[in-house]
Structure 1
Amino acid sequence: MGCWKQEKSNTWTFPTLILCLYGFFYMMKPSEPFLTPYLTGPDKNLTIDKVTNQIFPVWTYSYLALLFPVFLITDYLRYKPILLLQGISFITTWLLLLFAQGVLAMQMVEFFYGMATATEVAYYAYIYSVVSTDRYQRVTSYCRSITLAAATLAAVLGQLLVSLADVSYFHLNAITLASVSLAFVTSFFLPMPQKSMFFHRKDIPVALPGPDQVVAAVGSHRPSSCPEDKGSGSAGREPTPEQQAGRVQPQNGVLRVLVQLSQDLRDCYSSRKLLYWSLWWALATAGFNQVLNYIQVLWDFRAPSHSSAVYNGAVEAIATFLGSVTAFVVQYMNINWDLFGELALGIFSAIDAGSLFLMYFTTNVWACYASYLIFKACYMLLITIATFQIAVNLSMERYALMFGFNNFVALGIQTILTAVVVDSKGLGLDIVTQFLIYSSYFAVIAGIFLTRSICMLVSSKCKRKTARSCKEHLNHAEDKSKGQIAIGYMTQL
């Protein structure tokens, strides 16, 4: 019996190992930092305007269109088939990138890359369906660390091959194709999960865990439902009989899950704290992804790749490393995030805005590189804090749901930015003017959260002052009452 339990407890190691190998190979893409030089170079011979205004926007549109259906299908099919689909999408992307020509073909590249990006949710959700809850933190650390290491190594490798070995961009893409093909082969060895977070739950057959059930299901000490500031919302309370009656689940499986998801979202966003952290998450992630999408175009404009040395890989490697360092430092920051969290969001968003303004005004590519490093490090610091602040208040199911919905909102905002600012059917602005828009966008975000944080700090100070005044008044009244009692006693004597 003891041996059986030990064998069962060790079953997490094999799927974790295979998933880490998969994550390593699918993130090992040394050609990614050099995509724009490749498209505008002799291999594809596209103009920078076509790349910016006609090709790159397709990724945003396809990602938005596929994200929600893929989210539901991923859970329904229990992850592994979607990982296989991701591998096929990556292979198709790089086959087209290597051998196809023309604007339409490159738009298809962006479509399949959008599909691969939308299916990424399966990678991070798969492991939670095959390991016990007490190993969530450990396996999450493994999976995220391996992808970060692979991205850094890929950028360094790409830069070394380009700068020292004079390897062409075409051959870099061939190396990437080989790597994503290995990822596809690796995914076949993943065991098929028997459960999922929403459609195929084993612990609760009818509905997702309620406020009184999550602690047992997740096995952690953090609150399972969405707590609210005192005096507002009902996320932290158990549902009344009337509310339970209103939560009768439909018999249809898909409809039942959709109803439950909508109810969970309503409960979570009724917490003002989670609402504001999620608002920053959505706004900032939209701007961050937009900058990442078009930063290579700006670099190529400042220092054309056909006449200048390209250091995109080195910059991406350093940026990824700085991002991982800032994310690691968060665990040692002993700060009252409830009070000063939004101030941090405002300050670092202002730094991001300043970095983007510098990219707009400078003509020096090295200044653009430095600004990008600052921009990415600040965002990675804040997104780590926001992730922790949201995750610490939620069960695993609700965190996954809120994470997905925040990213969906971010993608919607990003799509609006793309359609209005970038797309040739919209304003079709040049790349430099685009970065003026993005810097102004982050300045607005900074203004929103700085204003809110100042109001919160002033309100908190006033409350402390009022409480201190009340305490002094009570102490004075108590002393006066004691004095009157003493005088009365002396009078009786």
Structure 2
Amino acid sequence: MSLLDPTLLLCVSGFFSNLRPSEPFLTAYLMGPDKNLTETQVVNEIYPVWTYSYLALLFPVFLITDYLRYKPVLLLQATSLVVTYVMLLKAQGTVAMQLLEFFFGLATASEVAYYSYIYSVVEPAHYQRVTGYCRSITLFGSAAGSLMGQLLLSLAKAQLVHLVIITLSSAAVAFVAPWFLPMPKRSLFFHKSAEAVEERPRSSTALLEKAEDSTARLPPNSQDAPTIPSTSDTGKHSSGVVEVLKILLDDFLKCYRCQSLLAWSLWWALATCGYFQVINYAQALWENVRPSQDYEIYNGYVETLSTLLGALAALLVGYLPVCWAVWGELALFLFSLLMAACVFVMDTMRNIWVCYSSYVLFRATYMLLITVATYQIAASLNMQRYALVFGVNTFIALLLQTLLTVVVVDSAGLGLDVFAQFLIYGGYFAVISGIFLFAGIFKLAYRRRSKQQEEEEEEEVSDNSPAETTQTLLNSGTPAPIERTQ
């Protein structure tokens, strides 16, 4: 099968699974006459289930995906989306909506199969191109769905339930495409190809120590991060669960010893946690500022614009004249502070247009930084550790998000209203910016001190006269060099 066939099928699946006209209006739909749920039920009892299920399922699904070689989990994801939107259309009550959130969490956790499958059926030379295709088509599908939903509401005067029907139809199309994908013969951990087994360097430990030593003693290069060597050799084409877990743990410990990778991973986990919370509950905030029962809402336009600007920001990363290895922490401080300001503005300025604008800027900023973080992390990793580190970062983000949800959102915890929640989220991003401010200042101070020490050592060497050098050699017992006369 040619490269085009699986890539095209994956793009079809990715586009239609993200074509969700109802998503920008989900809160309004649940609180409207179709479901007749209260804000407390939606925000404090139903939405948190997605966070809990996503966290609980992420690691098991990650292992099952690799063990079953991707395609079965792709089908599971497509099935979960269909079940989700069937329930959204037909089911009633809080418990049914909580079960719906569980299936959506399963579909979200299964996305790892979508982004991993293509690497098992194409050659490494095509990785960058097919990754661009698959990721861009999902963003385009999300933007097209949001725009379609808004146009149907504003121009065609469609009902929200009609948007749910269209979303279900789109999920049904996405369900069909994966069935025609070829079954991969290899995977990253459980089913390795002979080439993957043989490509490990002979002295990976020495290479790792060399990379770590260069990271500790020298300032990071402006372009490249030190490369962390590939994983341990299992010596087999197929690995057991215990063996894979040992490899993952060993890789985890080695990867996070790299200081630059650790810094970007820390921001990834912290910021993604806050980002999930803001986008999950933004619609509830907008519903309080401008109730959909009384006014026309424009959530679809906002989601479309924010998605497209986020994609544009991601594309512009490669053209920004910033030395991320040197100024990365300070850039994270400034942009995290900007994100905190956006959240505070959304919370305090009870104007829907200000809320919309702040939300667009917030998402675009996050998409910009997460793209930089992705590149900085991936630059020093092979494909296997790439999947591990990104999975660990996402897991930590979900763990933090779960703690935040239990304490702040869930009715079993504080059960705060949405305005109090956003006040806390703004403070959360302010804390993130403070962490990276101190990290950036410390890094610059360390670099300056190292540079001064190098200059002082060079001056001491250049100031040594021949007589001093001879006396030093005599004192050390080493014969001085004989000067030749002509």
TM-score surpassing 0.5? yes
Report the residue type matching 1:447 in the other structure. Answer: G
- Alpha-carbon distance in structure 1 between the residues aligned to 2:10 and 2:140: 14
1: distance between equivalents of 2:200 and 2:260?
Answer: 20
Whether the 8 Å CA contact 1:226–1:268 is kept in 2: the answer is: no
**Counterpart in the other structure of 2:138:** 147
Superposition deviation, residue 256 in structure 1 = 0.9
Q: Deviations over 1:312-362 (max 9, x none)?
A: 110000100110111111111232222111111111001101111111211
1:266–1:248 Cα change, 3 Å: farther
Tell me, in whole angstroms, the C-alpha distance in 1 between the residues paired with 2:467 and 2:194.
62
Distance 2:228 2:286 in 1: 52
* CA distance in 2: counterparts of 1:342 and 1:461, whole angstroms: 16
Q: Which amino acid aligns with 2:344?
A: F
Equivalent residue for 2:422, pick from 435, 454, 469: 435
The correspondence for 2:79, drawn from 63, 88, 92, is 88
Q: Which runs of 5+ in 2 are unaligned?
A: 218-225, 470-484
Indicate if the aligned counterparts of 1:198 and 1:208 stay in contact, CA closer than 8 A: no
Residues 270-279 or 176-185, more deviating: 270-279
* Aligned equivalent of 1:26: 17
Instruction: Tell me whether 1:391 sits opposite 2:382 in the alignment.
Output: no
Instruction: Tell me the residue number matched to 1:350.
Output: 337
Question: Counterparts in 2 of 1:86-165, with a 5 A limit?
Answer: 86-165=77-156
User: How far apart, in 2, do the equivalents of 1:283 and 1:227 lie?
Assistant: 26
Deviations 1:160-191 (A, max 9, x none): 11111111110000000000000001111111
- Aligned to 1:89, what secondary structure does the other structure show? helix
Greater displacement, 101-110 / 332-341: 332-341
Q: 1:190 to 1:432 in 2, by over 3 A?
A: same
Aligned to 2:474: none
Q: Give the percent of matched residue pairs that are identical in Structure 1 and Structure 2.
A: 52
Task: Give 1:418's match in structure 2, choosing from 393, 405, 427.
Answer: 405
For 1:324 and 1:429, locate their aligned partners in 2 and report how far apart those are by CA, in whole Å.
33
- Secondary structure of 1:11's partner? coil
Are residue 341 (structure 1) and residue 325 (structure 2) matched? Answer: no
Alignment of structure 1 residues 169-318 onto 2, 5 Å: 169-203=160-194, 210-212=200-202, 227-228=211-212, 230=214, 253-318=240-305
Corresponding residue pairs, total: 461
Amino acid at match of 2:98: Q
TM-score, L = length of structure 2: 0.89
Residues 47 and 98 of structure 2 are in contact (CA less than 8 Å); yes or no, is this contact kept in structure 1? yes
The alignment partner of 2:214 has SS state of coil
Distance verdict in 2 for CA 1:481–1:338, change over 3 Å: same
Aligned to 1:59: 50
- Structure 1: state its 5+ residue gaps: 1-9, 215-222, 483-491
> Among residues 435, 440, 445, which one is paired with 1:448 in the alignment?
435
Q: Is the 8 A contact 1:226 1:394 kept in 2?
A: no
1:228 partner SS: helix
Deviations 1:347-386 (A, max 9, x none): 1001101111111211111111111111111111110011
Distance in 1 (CA, whole Å) between partners of 2:359 and 2:210 is 35
Distance 1:376 1:140, change over 3 A: same
What root-mean-square deviation, in Å, do the aligned CA atoms of Structure 1 and Structure 2 show? 2.8
AA aligned to 1:468 is: E
* Match of residue 444, structure 2, among 453, 457, 467: 457
Quote the Cα distance in structure 1 between the aligned partners of 2:203 and 2:71.
Answer: 28
**CA distance in 1: counterparts of 2:198 and 2:350, whole angstroms:** 54
Name the CA distance, whole Å, in 2 between partners of 1:464 and 1:34: 55
Instruction: Name the structure 2 match of 1:166.
Output: 157
Letter in 1 for 2:4: T
- Cα deviation digits, residues 269-298 of structure 1 (max 9, x gap): 111111111111111111101111101000
Per-residue deviation, 1:228: 2.6
The 8 Å contact of residues 191 and 239 in structure 2, kept in 1 or not, is answered as: no
Aligned mate of 1:406, from 379, 387, 393:
393
Q: Of residues 326, 347, 362 in structure 2, which corresponds to 1:360?
A: 347
Aligned partners of 2:267, 2:321: CA distance in 1, in Å?
A: 21
> How many angstroms apart in 2 are the aligned matches of 1:123 and 1:310?
33
